[in-house]
Structure 1
Amino acid sequence: MTTPPAPRQSGARVWRAADMADPSTWTWQLDDRHVDLLIEAAADPASRAIDAMRTEIMALRERLIEGRAFELVRGFPAREVGPAASAAAFAALGNVLGRPRSQNASGDLLGHVRNVGADLRDPTVRIYQTDRRQTFHTDSTDVVGLMCLETAAEGGESLLVSAGAIYNEMLDRSPDLAAALFEPVATDRRGEVPPGADPFFLIPVLSWHRAELTVLYQRQYIESAERFDDAPRLTDRQRSALDLFDDIANDPEFHLRMELQVGDMQFVHNHSLLHDRTAFVDRPGSPRHLLRLWLSVPGDRELPPVFRQRYGSIEVGNRGGIVVG
């Protein structure tokens, strides 16, 4: 029986669904002043209008990396101003919150999350390019931001869960399986391979470093890494640990569900929370469409050296993203 290296977790980022029952506690409702400043910043970045919101954006950053680890920003009139101005406003806010990072092999800093009809049987396809459920996972950056430009006809709900809350529950149920999450597992890079690197990386689901519990997880890509002959296979114990981790994450007692409305911006701290999206059906002629930012955030935690495999640099404020050339 192995003892987990991390103690029981506590603090604002360790929560269950009931703790987040009141949306007003995790929603920043923009007022007319905020909207005017964001629209001005979108129309003319040289105006520096966004600087008038800097204090509030820094408070948002603090809540992400030290508080509950997520926030919904609501009230931007995306339909009225159109997709180009909405994207520019989203980017302006994100550029104050952190440093944008590449999201794919093409180097896109502002990504598009929508169903492009991709086939998950293709090992280079990323799940966000489909209409399938994503399952709980993290992205390869400090903070992921989403902005909703169009909702689905059905489904497409956003789900969030606390890694610390899952870990505590695993300690209660099976300390040995909790300990297994700190062992390296192979994760498929899905064709986005840096020069000289393996087509998979070996990083534990949970890491304990500088008194911080950090999560990195995508179950489907762990499974698909086994297409490589030299990728380590999951042991039965590791597979049981991942199954229990998934079972807890999928328990409605643990995860929060929210529906993003047009104009909503959601920001999530990837090292503390996992996120998910339910399967969806597009509206004919007006498919579900979200914009995405990956942000490296100044003042965030240090990451363990093993994260260099995925992040390249682990320098705080200048790390993460996908670099293949």
Structure 2
Amino acid sequence: MTLSLPEKIVGPAAWTGAEMQERDDIWLYHLTPSDIDDIEQAAEHYLSLGRDIGEIRKEDFPLPVFGAHLAALKDRLINGHGFEVLRGLPVAQYTQEMAAAIFCGIGAHLGSARSQNAQGHILGHVRNIGADPNDPNARIYQTAARQTFHTDSADIVGLMCLRDAKEGGDSLLVSAETIYNRMRAARPDLLQLLFDPIATDRRGEVPEGMDPFMTIPPLNWHAGKLTVFYQRQYIDSAQRFPEAMRLTPAHVEALDMFDALANDPSLHLKMRLDPGDMQFVYNHAQLHDRTGFTDWPEPSNRRHLFRLWLSPTGDRALPEVFAQRYGSLEIGNRGGIITANTRLHAPLD
């Protein structure tokens, strides 16, 4: 069936990397000394309670100074250009517990934390553990290989850089709306195919009673908004399942065009996250990626980032098909990876 799609999507989320490279004043925020004092006091208060970091709620992490910025940031993520980097946190001075409390506390002002794997980890650790990127059950973020542009299973994705790599590991962002606009203008026939129920591999993390793959279309038009769900490596590996929808040559051409546009240096934004940087990205309107990297030989110096998946209140509605991944579609209480034995917690290492 041919969908009725807009000729062009116009709005702050339809940005190009070239534009954003010249406008870091709207997405790079330098924390003030007052901001940092406020954040540190909130973290010290929470840690004094002796509770699990994974239980932090907004009301447990009072930010009388910095809280107004986070309220505005939440709106910019959902309704604006969709990402921001907070810079200047002296993370090298903190214990890992203090850094985790700060990150989870700030995240609690943006949304509820969600499980990131079958083990129920609310606080994820992004680092190379030597996993094989060609293993169909491996998670790509646990390797040093180049990722591909993709989305995660959450409304908002947050990263905190604890230590950066010796070389590489740069963060890349691209607007799904801009890719849509380019494909709509040049190849509307291929664009339509990205709204088909193309299979995406679950990579071994299969909720009880579910198929080992999902059939959420890469692009979804729902309630007047474009929502993206995409991981090309997992789309390709899902073809190992005979019951998955077969990709036709036209589908492959459409996916290849999507990838080519995402990788266009004029369309995506490339940034280096410094230690202490916190990046928050609205997952439904853009895709993220990471370049391959070379790590430091000493284990204590190796690249390490915390990750949060968040579900904010006041967000957009998602189409019913997202229940295959998100479970509940309740705004503010959706997303993450939930299996039968999931127990939510925040491991520090």
If the length of structure 1 is used for normalisation, what is the TM-score? 0.97
Q: Does 1:25 align with 2:26?
A: yes
C-alpha distance in 1 between matches for 2:239 and 2:190: 21
Partner of 2:231: 218
CA contact (8 A) 2:34 2:65 kept: no
Matches within 5 A, 1:115-130: 115-130=128-143
Correspondences of 1:189-200 after superposition (within 5 Å): 189-200=202-213
> 1:16 corresponds to which letter in structure 2?
T
SS at match of 1:303: coil
Provide the rounded CA distance (Å) in 2 between the counterparts of 1:50 and 1:126: 35
Q: Give 1:284 deviation, angstroms.
A: 1.5
Aligned length: 325
What does 1:231-242 correspond to in 2, within 5 Å?
231-242=244-255
SS of equivalent residue, structure 2 residue 184:
helix
Q: In 2, distance between residues paired with 1:51 and 1:111?
A: 27
Conserved? CA contact 1:3–1:176, under 8 Å: no
Q: Deviations over 1:209-242 (max 9, x none)?
A: 0000000000000000011121111111111110
Partner Cα distance (2:89, 2:210) in 1: 42
Match of 1:324 in 2: 339
Separation in structure 1 between the aligned mates of residue 181 and residue 246 of structure 2, nearest angstrom: 26
Q: Give, in whole Å, the separation in 1 of the partners of 2:114 and 2:67.
A: 20
- Taking a change above 3 Å as real, the CA distance of residues 48 and 110 of structure 1, as seen in their structure-2 partners, is closer
Residues 1:222 and 1:311: Cα distance change in structure 2 (over 3 Å):
same
Deviation for aligned residue 1:86: 1.2
Deviation digits for residues 123-161 of structure 1, max 9, x if unmatched?
A: 211100000011100000000000000000000000000
Q: Determine which of 295, 307, 320 is the counterpart of 2:310.
A: 295
Counterpart code for 1:273:
Q
CA contact 1:188–1:201 (8 Å) conserved in 2: yes
2:56 corresponds in structure 1 to none
- 2:52: which partner in 1? none
How far apart are the structure 1 equivalents of 2:135 and 2:61?
A: 44
Query: Once the 2 structures are TM-superposed, how far is the Cα of residue 24 of structure 1 from its aligned partner?
Result: 1.9
**Alpha-carbon RMSD:** 1.4
Residue from 279, 297, 301 that aligns with 1:266: 279
- Matched residue type, 1:9: I
Counterpart-to-counterpart distance in 2, 1:3 and 1:309: 22
Matched, 1:11 2:11: yes
Whether 1:313 and 2:328 are equivalent positions in the alignment is: yes
Give per-residue Cα distances to partners, 1:84-103, cap 9 Å, x unaligned: 21111011000111000000
Fraction of identical pairs, as percent = 54
Q: In the alignment, does 2:319 pair up with 1:304?
A: yes
Picking from 189, 192, 200, the partner of 1:187 is 200
Question: Structure 1: where are the runs of 5+ without partners?
Answer: none
* TM-superposed deviation, 1:52: 4.1
- Counterpart mapping for 1:1-325 below 5 A: 2=2, 5-20=5-20, 21-45=22-46, 48-285=61-298, 286-325=301-340
- Amino acid in the other structure paired with 1:40: Q
Check conservation: 2:198, 2:217, Cα contact below 8 A: yes
Amino acid at match of 1:300: D
1-structure distance, mates of 2:216, 2:271: 30
**Contact 1:28–1:73, Cα closer than 8 Å, also in 2:** yes
Structure-1 separation of matches of 2:61 and 2:248: 54
Deviation at 1:48, TM superposition (A): 4.0
Task: State how far apart, in whole Å, the 1-side matches of 2:116 and 2:267 are.
Answer: 28
- Which is worse superposed, 119-128 or 291-300? 119-128
Give, in angstroms, the shift of residue 122 of structure 1.
Answer: 2.3
